[in-house]
Structure 1
Amino acid sequence: MIHTRALTKDFTVGRGEAVHAVRGVSIDIEPGELVAVLGPNGAGKTTLMRMLTTLISPTSGEATVAGHDIATHPARVRRRIGYVGQGNGAGHTQRVHDELYTQGEIYGLDRRAARTRADELIEALDLGALRERKVSDLSGGQRRRLDVALGLVHAPPLLFLDEPSTGLDPQNRANLWEHILRLRERHGMTVVLTTHYLDEADTMAERVVIVDHGRVIADDTAEALKTKLAGDRLTVGSPDVRTLSRLAEALPGARDLASSGERLELRVSDAPTAAAELLFAARDAGVPVTAVQSHRPTLDDVFLTLTGRSLREESSEVSK
């Protein structure tokens, strides 16, 4: 559904200074996948999304989206994709049903087909009670559901969502995602999204692509990234931390050991197994253990491991 090779975008700013926003990105996304693209502000993910949706042209490289080249056939790409940007896409003075109907006509549907499609989307996204209401009178969650409906008017096989739930409260976020996932399951859509909500990427996406400094630095399932790149964190208490640290160093895959007072912290690939092995070793060595705690990694741990920065800090900056 998406195929890129060495996709690059450079901008010229100031006195001819070149900014390399996207640097040789090569990715493949198969039909039906739900992929989350993560990265800090300025990492290049928005530029990448804008290229894939034909809003800007690449400097070099190649990309086909929904079966068409973004450089040579951008109009064909647009007919095959839906795009829900960060801003609201509907006219404030328009009524919900009229806006969907008009959008259908813009995409070439005849009046009957446009009216039918508008009715289908109103039902699918639970907008029935709002069909005659002006967009300016809708709540934030209702507007985002309408934005998604507008992106689906032409029944695209590929849907781009650029931070679709930013600014929504937890209830509206959950409600929006319930509708998106139901529509995806019903129509087999491919979905590519950017988000600063790590729980969305963790629980919704089948793949997570992390972008930093214009490059893809990680691409895998959320669970695989957490296991391989972050690992479980194990905290063990003991009055003899020095000896305990030597025992922990012998554990397979143990890393990032740090001790403070009577507490030892380390990263392992499998906390339950490592904790059992360390407890047995401590018993045999006569080292008392006062406490054991394990913590599963998060995507923020992955991001911190890869970049030295926390994605949560970026998220809080965006929400201010």
Structure 2
Amino acid sequence: MYLQNSEYKMISNLGLSSDHVVLKAQHSETQNVYAIKIEKKPGIGQVETEVQILQQLFGIEGIPKLIQYGKTKDFKNYLIIPLLNCSLQDLGKTSLLSQNSILAIGLTVIRTIKQVHNKGILHLDIKPQNIMISQRQIIDSVEQILIPGNVQLIDFGLSQNLGNQKFLKETFIGSIRFASRQSHKKEQLGYKDDLESLLYVLAYLRKKKLPWQQTQQKAFQLMDIRRIGIIKDQVYETSMLSQQFPPQFYQFQLYIDTLTPSQMPDYNYIEELFKQMLQLNQPSITPSFPKPSPCFSKYKELEDQDYIKLSESVSSVDGDARAIIISDLIKAYTTIGIKSIKDIQFEQQSRKSTEQY
């Protein structure tokens, strides 16, 4: 389906990466508000892959519904999903999350990952920016967090079926901060790697910082992929990530290390660990939260070089001029912590060509 200019009113820019832009848009007739992801140039991004994955995951609670997809008039792939409220990255900056809230989020995401893995699909880019909360207020209640659909897992642009072995090794895939140790080693990836990334996310929410996180916000260098991977190996051999959590969290950490890439995790065991930590049979004590601030503030920090949030002033510029501004911003930043499938194919072809000579 072609995207008609008159069908949606573009309200603002939500973000961009090296190969796509995400826009907030309102349907002209229904007035419903959506998120539209459009690739920068025809065929260069992950939008087509994400459409295919979302079609396979249709009907799973915790996965956004694919509203519409197709091409723009200039043959760029696009997709439309419901506009979600806040990411864990946004909430982590504006609110103090209780241990129970973090564990409830973990349990909810694990239940979603279980259904994704049952389809033979790996997410491969689990991080706070890709876990969304439907409403800011639900974070105050463990019971609300556990309601299916209130926590959503988004951005399946890097996702792959487990059977696509050639795409799941020999390259780094994911975010440098939250990628698994296997990804840093460019070894075979599997179900366990999504769980390891989630472990890092939960530890990050609890501690506000990971041991390999740099003290100052700056662009990662290519050498950091190997260096941070070594640090992750060293840290994982300790209980450092599990501090400030009940003992079962360390059991979760150790269990991940017993799995092989192709082995389906025992989700009943994992869920039981999180239920024990949550102590669902006892009333949850909710901390006093500061007044919620808008999740999409006027200016956002650059996070892991994965994307940037644009100034709202950009959305007030005419369409052609806005496109130029967005294009200039894209050129100003590079994303090395994330790979598209086409990037991976190019790297593998280049490697083979080099080996022949």
* TM-score normalised by L of structure 2: 0.25
* TM-score normalised by L of structure 1: 0.28
